[in-house]
């Protein structure tokens, strides 16, 4: 059944993306202010399809720790494409830090830019950092909630990768604290995986961390991730997570 459900979801998600990609053309031309809302609708429909078709839901612990509006900086672990969807529907003005190459994808790329996502060059380190901080300044001025994946890529569930220094530079540049976020999304929707397994993805928002020292901040983020992972394991061991949690509102 997992294979069949995953195949149906693949057909659903591909068709939805193509349809809404074509529908985005008039949004890009005449309704530019509606771009973020349009993208959020796409994410809601994808998450709803994931829940209904694959029986894959999610829960967030610690969401109340995040400010309700204004700029903030989330340093999230990254195991799955799911991680790029969930904050689109749970934050008022989300802005993901993304690879610049994504902006060149037909239909999708122009909408990512129009919705205020943050493309970052991956060339030389100094050039990429200037690009990141420039995008950060613009996002903060607009009151956006910034989500960055400091591991730099999707990581296989169960593996650990130390956070890269970009998030520390962003925090120091803006003066914003960092909210570490961890997840077990790769357990249900693996990195570039076709199979979508039933169950409830856990997301844990940790207490904010801050430090003027780059190395100390990165260490705090890694420590918070580890503690969040332990919290997820404790909940799973108690069997407290239902495959059809009502915690998600996608």
Q: What are phi and psi of 216, to 5 degrees?
A: -65, -40
Nearest C-alpha neighbor of 181 from the set 42, 91, 77: 77
242 domain-assigned? no
Residue 244 lies in a domain: no
Average pLDDT, the chain: 90
pLDDT tens-digit profile of 172-217?
999 999 999 999 999 999 887 899 999 999 999 999 999 999 999 9
CB 66 within 8 A of CB 72: yes
In a domain, 158, yes or no: yes
Domains in the chain: how many in total? 1
Least trusted range by pLDDT, from 143-147, 226-230, 236-240:
236-240
Residues of the domain holding 230: 2-237
Distance CA 245, CA 201 (A): 9
Per the domain annotation, does 250 fall within a domain? Answer: no
Q: What is the CATH number of the domain that holds 17?
A: 3.40.1130
150 domain residue, yes or no: yes
What is the token pair recorded at 97? Answer: 């830090």
Domain assignment of residue 180, yes or no = yes
What is the secondary structure of 92-112 as a DSSP string?
SSEEEEEEGGGGGSTTHHHHH
Residue from 93, 86, 199 nearest 149 by CA: 86
Helices and strands (H, E) in the chain, number of each type: 7, 7
Rounded Cα distance, 40 and 28, in Å: 15
244: pLDDT strictly greater than 70: no
Task: Name the nearest CA neighbour of 117 among 174, 11, 68, 104.
Answer: 104
In a domain, 192, yes or no: yes
């Amino acid at each position: 059944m997992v294979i069949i459900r995953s195949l149906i979801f693949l057909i659903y998600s591909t068709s939805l993306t193509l349809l809404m990609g074509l529908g985005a053309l008039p949004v890009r031309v005449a309704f530019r202010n509606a771009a973020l809302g349009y993208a959020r609708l796409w994410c809601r429909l994808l998450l709803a399809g994931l829940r209904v078709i694959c029986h894959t839901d999610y829960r967030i612990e610690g969401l109340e720790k995040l400010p309700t509006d204004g700029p903030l900086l989330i340093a999230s672990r990254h195991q799955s494409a799911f991680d790029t969807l969930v904050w689109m529907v749970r934050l008022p003005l989300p802005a993901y830090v993304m690879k610049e190459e994504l902006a060149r994808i037909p239909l999708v790329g122009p909408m990512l830019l129009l919705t205020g996502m943050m493309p970052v060059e991956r060339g030389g380190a100094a050039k990429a950092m200037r690009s990141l901080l420039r995008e950060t300044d613009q996002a903060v001025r607009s009151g956006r909630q910034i989500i960055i994946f400091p591991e730099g890529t999707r990581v296989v569930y169960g593996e650990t990768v130390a956070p890269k220094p970009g998030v520390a530079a962003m925090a120091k540049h803006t003066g914003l604290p960092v909210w570490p976020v961890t997840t077990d999304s790769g357990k249900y929707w693996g990195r570039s995986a076709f199979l979508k397994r039933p169950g409830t993805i856990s997301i844990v928002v940790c207490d904010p961390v801050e430090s003027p020292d780059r190395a100390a901040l990165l260490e705090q983020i890694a420590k918070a991730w580890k503690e969040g992972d332990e919290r997820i394991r404790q909940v799973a061991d108690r069997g407290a997570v239902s495959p059809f949690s009502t915690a998600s509102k996608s």
